[in-house]
Amino acid sequence: MTRLVASRLLREPASLETRGLYLRPWTCDAFLELAQMYSDPRVTRYMSTRPVSGDEARRFASEASAAAIRQWRTKGYGPWAAFDKTTGEWVGKIGLEYLKGWPAPHDIEIGWELKPSFWGRGLAVEGGLAGLRFGFEECGLERIISVTRRHHGASRRVNGEVRPRLTVSWRGVPVVWYASDRPTGPASPAGP
């Protein structure tokens, strides 16, 4: 564990603010919003190999929420619950997540799962860049990855600023793996 990450564990979990988002560390109260989002087949078509039922959506949301809370407690970073800065509406989940079982040494992903009503507004890019900066500057991470299904064009466009490093099969699904390395100079990833 790096000194930066160890010192993060001693502080209050970090909330962030971007031009259009409030990012708040994940808490149990985000579970119901996440379960509702996971019951939308437009969202889960990129997460599962088949449509999920309401019970499965609640189970997925429960597991994701527990993992997010555990990650904030043990690592000092994790996914945020994202809220629209103008309306206060819940947007989705954006942030740094441990990818259990990822077959490479760098297994912290910058990820995003947004409600369809917020797709196409640039919020995944905005939140993703904020998460990259936080991971590099505040947590001292060396490399942050992003993994998306090969056919998920929108997510691949969000990842367009970093180069694909590998196309692999993970959990039986073809995915594209992207990686961003910590900047070596004083500059940080560009963004809002």
139 falls in which pLDDT band (50, 70, 90)?
very high
Mean pLDDT rounded to a whole number for the chain? 80
Instruction: Give Cα separations from 86 to 113, 123, 133 (angstroms).
Output: 19, 13, 23
Is there a contact between 90 and 66 (Cβ–Cβ < 8 Å)? Answer: no
Tracing tokens 């970073």 back to the chain, one arrives at 77
Tracing tokens 């947590």 back to the chain, one arrives at 139
Contacts of 152 (CB under 8 A, 6+ apart): 46
Q: Sign of torsion, CA 68 92 121 177? A: positive
- CA distance linking residue 6 with residue 20, whole number of Å: 30
The per-residue pLDDT for range 91-117, each reduced to its tens digit, is: 999 999 998 888 778 889 888 889 999
pTM for the model: 0.80
Domain ranges of the chain: 3-137
Is there a contact between 85 and 17 (Cβ–Cβ < 8 Å)? Answer: yes
The per-residue pLDDT for range 3-55, each reduced to its tens digit, is: 444 444 546 778 999 999 999 999 888 888 999 888 888 887 766 555 577 88
First-to-last alpha carbon distance for the chain, in angstroms, is 29
Is there a contact between 110 and 99 (Cβ–Cβ < 8 Å)? Answer: no
2 falls in which pLDDT band (50, 70, 90)?
very low
CATH fold of 3-137 reads: Aminopeptidase (3.40.630)
